Amino acid sequence: MTKPLIAANWKMNMTTGESVTFAKRLAEEFARLEDRDVIIAPPFTALYPVAEILRNSGIHLAAQNFHWEKGGAYTGEISAPMLCDIGCRYVLVGHSERRILFGERNEEVNKKAATALAAGLKPIVCIGETLGERESGRTFDILARQIKEGLNNISPDDIESVTLAYEPVWAIGTGKTATTEQAEEVHRFIREEIGGIFGKAKAGETAIIYGGSVKPDNIAGLMDQPDINGALVGGASLDFESFAKIIKY
């Protein structure tokens, strides 16, 4: 059975001091939590000090992005070996904001996923449809393509280290949330697609989490769904009390 996974994506928020204060509180309250995994993804500037605080706490550190090359003339980028060096265990790949604002395509998502796995990082691969795509009935076509192309050439052995995050773009930061029924329908479809590529057994072991205006008042309903294994939390993860309630759902 897949252990529930609650991940915080702080995006371009939190100074180093704010990140450290938050991480200390988190480590004190949720140290060595065994029945679920908790992950936080601070901005790059806070990764190292937060890693020091979370060391041996059982709470995992993630980066929000990285480049698939190991090094070179890529001004402003950061590599997988650099992330591993400071203690990251997870990394977000293909977040909708990276796709929409920075033009990342499935091809780049695939390169990043493969590079992360090769480096020993666990990629959280984000997929999802826009409002226009949903309203035109293309949700499943879009997701199938993102899964097929984003996980191209990933081995069945490696898929267990991949987390898929379904984030309907129309529900991110808008206050709108897919109903529990809508979310479960899509998560079930994603698991079936994974099963078709990697086998039913592997699909059952793959974590699929929901991201899209997750809040304390809707997390329990989402987690009650059989194919939803956790949540990728944005705005609600910036407030400690709010995020703590989500972790405790």
**Sign of the torsion formed by the C-alpha atoms of 240, 186, 136 and 162:** positive
Residue 95 falls in the annotated catalytic set = yes
The residue from 108, 167, 184, 193 that is catalytic is 167
State the Cα–Cα distance between residues 188 and 194, nearest whole angstrom.
Answer: 10
C-alpha distances in angstroms, 219 versus 87, 145, 243?
28, 28, 11
Which of 60, 67, 95, 187 is an active site residue? Answer: 95
Distance CA 185, CA 208 (A): 12
Task: Report how far residue 164's alpha carbon sits from residue 191's, in angstroms, rounded to the nearest whole number.
Answer: 10
Q: What are the backbone dihedrals phi and psi of residue 192, each rounded to the nearest 5 degrees, phi first? A: -65, -40
Q: Cβ(134)–Cβ(170) under 8 Å?
A: yes
Tokens, residue 32: 């060595």
Question: Inter-axis angle of helices 180-198 and 139-150, to 10 degrees?
Answer: 40
Query: Is 108 one of the catalytic residues?
Result: no
- Angle, vertex CA 129, rays to CA 192 and CA 169, nearest 5: 125
Amino acid (one-letter) located at 47: L
Catalytic residue annotation: 95, 167
